Amino acid sequence: MKTIRKAHDESIMRQQLFKNIASDIQLFKNVEEKERFLFVLGALITKIISLQKACEIMEIDREFFMKLLDLMSIEFSYLSVDDVEIEKSW
């Protein structure tokens, strides 16, 4: 019983930590939008979703989303690391 209770308490603590981090992002109106942005950002950076899909989920246009990433100093490229190296050598 203690193990289940401890796991539940840890889960609640993680959820609260996530909400605290999300609430620090000043770009969105409410915590739900902030949480969605963090989720989308993680999926985008790990290449689980495309930039277009990220924009669809966030309901913002591509140019705005790219500017948002730039303002937050988040590097994002359509190209892979190898593609960037090839581009640099041209």
* Mean pLDDT computed over 60-65: 90
Tell me: the pLDDT tens digits for 20-45?
Answer: 554 555 667 787 888 888 899 999 88
- The count of structural domains within the chain is 1
The residue segments making up the domain with residue 84 are 2-89
- Residue 40: partners with Cβ closer than 8 Å, 6 or more residues away: 49, 54, 57, 58
Give yes or no for residue 8 having a pLDDT over 80: no
Would you say 65 and 54 are in contact if contact means Cβ atoms under 8 Å apart? yes
